[in-house]
Amino acid sequence: MDFTHSQLRILEMIKNKKRISRKKIAEELRLTPAAITKSINPLLKLGVVLEDSEGESTGGRKPIELILNREWLGAVLGISLTPTALIISVGDISGNIYKSKSYEILDSDDLVKFLKKIIREELLAEQKIKVISLVLTGLINSDNGVLIFSPHYNWKKVNIKELLGKEFEIPILIENDVRAMALSERYFNTSKESNNFVVLNVSEGIGSSIFVGEDLLAGYGFMSGEIGHVVMDRSSLRKCSCGKRGCLEAEASNKAIINKIFSMIKLNNYSSLKERLKQNGEININDIVEAVNKRDFLSTKVATEAIVIIAHSIDMIISILNPEKIILFGELFNEKYLLNTLKLELQKVTLEEQKYELVVSKLLEEIHIYNPLAVVIHNIFRKNIWRR
Residue 182 — φ and ψ, nearest 5°? -60, -40
Interface residues for Zn ion in 187-246 (CB under 5 A)?
229, 240, 242, 244
CB of 316 to Zn ion, least distance (A): 15
CB of 65 to Zn ion, least distance (A): 52
Of 59 and 243, which has the nearer Cβ to Zn ion?
243
CB of 203 to Zn ion, least distance (A): 15
- Residue 252 touching Zn ion (CB under 5 A): no
> What does the H/E/C string look like for the chain?
CCCCHHHHHHHHHHHHHCCECHHHHHHHHCCCHHHHHHHHHHHHHHCCEEEECCCCCCCCCCCCEEEECHHHHCEEEEEEECCCEEEEEEECCCCCEEEEEEEECCCCCCHHHHHHHHHHHHHHHCCCEEEEEEEECCEEECCCCEEEEECCCCEEEEEHHHHHHCCCCCCEEEEEHHHHHHHHHHHHCCCCCCCEEEEEEECCCEEEEEEECCEECCCCCCCCCCHHHCECCCCCCCECCCCCECEHHHHHCHHHHHHHHHHHHHCCCCCCHHHHHHHHCCCCHHHHHHHHHCCCHHHHHHHHHHHHHHHHHHHHHHHHHCCCEEEEECHHHHCHHHHHHHHHHHHHHCCCCCCCEEEECCCCCCHHHHHHHHHHHHHHHCCCCCCC
Residues 6+ apart with CB under 8 A from 360: 327, 328, 333, 334, 339
CB of 341 to Zn ion, least distance (A): 24
CB of 323 to Zn ion, least distance (A): 23
Interface with Zn ion (CB under 5 A), residue from 164, 200, 247, 375: 247
Of 243 and 281, which has the nearer Cβ to Zn ion?
243
Of 241 and 334, which has the nearer Cβ to Zn ion?
241
Of 181 and 256, which has the nearer Cβ to Zn ion?
256
Residue whose C-alpha is closest to residue 192's, from 35, 327, 385, 78? 327
Of 177 and 185, which has the nearer Cβ to Zn ion?
177
CB of 246 to Zn ion, least distance (A): 9
CB of 329 to Zn ion, least distance (A): 19
Of 44 and 309, which has the nearer Cβ to Zn ion?
309
CB of 206 to Zn ion, least distance (A): 9
Of 185 and 204, which has the nearer Cβ to Zn ion?
204
Of 133 and 208, which has the nearer Cβ to Zn ion?
208
Give the number of residues in contact with Zn ion, rule: CB under 5 A: 5
Site map (CB under 5 A) of Zn ion, residues 113-132, x = contact: --------------------
Site map (CB under 5 A) of Zn ion, residues 41-80, x = contact: ----------------------------------------
Of 172 and 256, which has the nearer Cβ to Zn ion?
256
CB of 248 to Zn ion, least distance (A): 8
CB of 147 to Zn ion, least distance (A): 18
Interface residues for Zn ion in 259-288 (CB under 5 A)?
none
Of 123 and 242, which has the nearer Cβ to Zn ion?
242
> What does the H/E/C string look like for 277-320?
HHHHCCCCHHHHHHHHHCCCHHHHHHHHHHHHHHHHHHHHHHHH
Enumerate binding residues for Zn ion (CB under 5 A).
229, 240, 242, 244, 247
